[in-house]
């Protein structure tokens, strides 16, 4: 790749991601909703909620059954871009306990193709506390690595270096005389909460009481996932 092409590529990357530091580790919040730590060669995603439509169907509520394929295609694309040595999925990997056992073979093969040749860690969530069934990778309630702790639900007792999901943070800003609400990474430099990666997921506004005590609000920044770039906004500048 020549210098001009490399420079153009780097400029495009800068609009697709935001840099941040957690417990001394440099990371990149990617527009896809994934988090990448270059020094650890580690990619993190959260709240895939695979087989959510299938879980609803088992309960008699029919939804278009395309969510798992769409989410796995997005995951495959971000893995192809970063080629990480390790992938951590931060819980609620499946929408219910039966999701991984009942998942159709083509989706299982997609996951196997992504996981093959790299370390793959499934963190257990509140929707899927029993881990996965017959999938590559290991399951754990939490993982500690290089000063970082990866778990599904944030814990007030932990704090420093914690990276969690569960709450599906979103934030609202004013843009061109209208309010825009988008999923976001939320971090004060001590703790980071991940947006939901799954395509069939909702979100909880960062001002909701569920986030109380999790961040030093004076240092809190929301990295919002826009249509074509990341927008980094201080908490005080968000709409209530």
Give CA–CA dist 235/212, Å, rounded.
Answer: 13
Coil vs helix vs strand at 205: strand
In sequence order, the 6+-apart residues with CB closer than 8 A to the CB of 116 are: 136
Answer whether 0.85 is exceeded by the pTM.
yes
Greater pLDDT, 3 or 76: 76
Alpha helices in the chain (DSSP H): 3-16, 52-58, 67-82, 99-102, 105-115
**Confidence bin at 213 (pLDDT 50/70/90):** very high
Domains of the chain, start order:
18-153+160-237 (3.60.21)
Greater pLDDT, 61 or 53: 53
Give CA–CA dist 50/143, Å, rounded.
Answer: 21
Of all helices (H) and strands (E), which one includes residue 22? strand 17-22
Residue whose C-alpha is closest to residue 169's, from 139, 211, 129: 211
Give CA–CA dist 56/162, Å, rounded.
Answer: 32
Give the pLDDT confidence of 148-192 residue by residue, as tens digits.
Answer: 999 999 999 877 899 999 999 999 998 777 889 999 999 999 999
Give the pLDDT confidence of 11-41 residue by residue, as tens digits.
Answer: 456 779 999 999 999 999 999 999 999 999 9
């Amino acid at each position: 790749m020549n210098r001009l092409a490399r420079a153009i590529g780097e400029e495009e990357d800068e609009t697709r991601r935001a840099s941040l530091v957690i417990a001394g580790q440099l990371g990149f919040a990617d527009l896809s909703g994934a988090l990448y730590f270059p020094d650890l060669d580690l990619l993190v995603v959260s709240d895939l909620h695979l087989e959510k439509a299938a879980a609803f169907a088992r309960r008699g509520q029919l939804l278009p059954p395309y969510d798992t394929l769409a989410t796995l295609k997005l995951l495959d694309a971000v893995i192809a871009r970063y080629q990480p040595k390790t992938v951590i999925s931060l819980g609620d990997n499946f929408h219910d306990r039966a999701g991984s056992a009942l998942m159709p073979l083509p989706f299982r093969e997609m996951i196997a193709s992504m996981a093959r040749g790299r370390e793959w860690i499934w963190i257990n969530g509140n929707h899927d506390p029993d881990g996965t069934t017959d999938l590559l990778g290991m399951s754990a309630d939490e993982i500690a690595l290089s000063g970082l702790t990866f778990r599904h639900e944030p814990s007030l007792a932990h704090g420093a270096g914690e990276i969690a999901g569960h709450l599906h943070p979103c934030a609202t800003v004013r843009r061109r005389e209208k309010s825009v609400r988008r999923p976001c990474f939320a971090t004060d430099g001590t703790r980071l909460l991940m947006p939901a990666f799954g395509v069939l997921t909702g979100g909880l506004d960062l001002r909701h009481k569920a986030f109380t005590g999790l961040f030093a609000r004076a240092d809190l920044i929301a990295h919002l996932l826009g249509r074509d770039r990341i927008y980094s906004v201080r908490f005080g500048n968000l709409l209530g």
